[in-house]
């Protein structure tokens, strides 16, 4: 989704996967009793640092998003059964998408941004969950909440507070402003 957002916004970039073991950072943050928002920040920075170490001179963007509900962090569901479990855990509740971005150039952090959109799912039946997942297919496995708000997933919600792009995983408007301010994009 992030690549699609950047491409749609007219940015030229390459995708270079990081070699960060997210589970290690998440475990350290849990052990240190750090807020989930801080965990997202650390993951975004670690991803950017990992790639910047091999992409010398490049402007490297790292991003992460962690869903939080009732103080619990959710990862992307590994399969459709787990996706159904996610939706059952989230229905009728408000959850938060801790979203962070870090940009590094030559080993230095040149920009960081984070935001926490708030989403409230309506109450829905188990039958609706089955119908939704059958219609949406495995694409929901790419989302920490097992939903794609930009499509059929909109039917899951009663209220959404926050920037739409940030909900999709990338605070695009602040990012574009940073690129304009730094001269990477025309203003």
Shortest CA distance to 29 belongs to which of 15, 43, 50, 49? Answer: 43
Distance (Å, whole) CA 166 – CA 140: 17
Cα angle vertex 96, ends 92, 98, to 5°? 160
Q: Roughly how many angstroms between the first and final C-alpha of the chain, as a whole number? A: 25
| Per-residue model confidence as pLDDT tens digits over 120-144 | 999 999 999 999 999 999 999 999 9
- Res 106: pLDDT: 92
pLDDT at position 70: 95
Q: What is the pLDDT of residue 142?
A: 93
Amino acid 30: pLDDT: 86
2: which residues sit within 8 A by CB, 6+ positions away? 63, 168, 169, 170
- pTM above the 0.85 mark? yes
Q: 75 catalytic, yes or no?
A: no
Instruction: Specify the CATH number of the domain 2-181.
Output: 3.90.950.10
Q: Left, alpha or beta for 58 (phi > 0: left; psi -120 to 50: alpha)? A: beta
Q: What is the mean pLDDT of each successive set of 10 residues along the chain, which is 187 residues long?
A: 93 94 91 92 97 95 96 94 98 98 96 98 97 96 94 96 96 97 92
Q: Output the pLDDT for position 168.
A: 94
* The one catalytic residue among 12, 19, 21, 64: 64
Q: What is the structure's pLDDT at 96?
A: 98
**Confidence (pLDDT) at 1:** 84
What's the pLDDT at 187?
A: 87
């Amino acid at each position: 989704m992030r690549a699609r957002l950047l491409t749609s916004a007219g940015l030229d970039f390459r995708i270079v996967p990081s070699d960060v073991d997210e589970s290690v950072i998440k475990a350290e943050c849990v052990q240190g009793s750090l807020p989930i928002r801080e965990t997202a920040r650390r993951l975004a920075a670690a991803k950017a640092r990992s790639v910047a170490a091999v992409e010398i001179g490049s402007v490297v963007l790292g991003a992460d998003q962690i869903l939080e509900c009732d103080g619990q962090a959710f990862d992307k569901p590994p399969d459709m059964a787990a996706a159904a479990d996610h939706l059952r855990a989230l229905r009728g509740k408000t959850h938060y998408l801790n979203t962070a971005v870090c940009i590094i150039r030559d080993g230095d952090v040149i920009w960081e941004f984070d935001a926490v959109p708030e989403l409230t799912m309506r109450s829905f039946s188990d039958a609706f969950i089955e119908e939704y997942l059958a219609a949406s297919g495995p694409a929901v496995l790419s989302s920490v909440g097992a939903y794609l708000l930009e499509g059929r997933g909109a039917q899951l919600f009663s209220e959404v507070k926050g920037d739409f792009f940030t909900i999709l995983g990338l605070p695009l408007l602040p990012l574009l402003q940073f690129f304009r301010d730094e001269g990477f994009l025309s203003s």
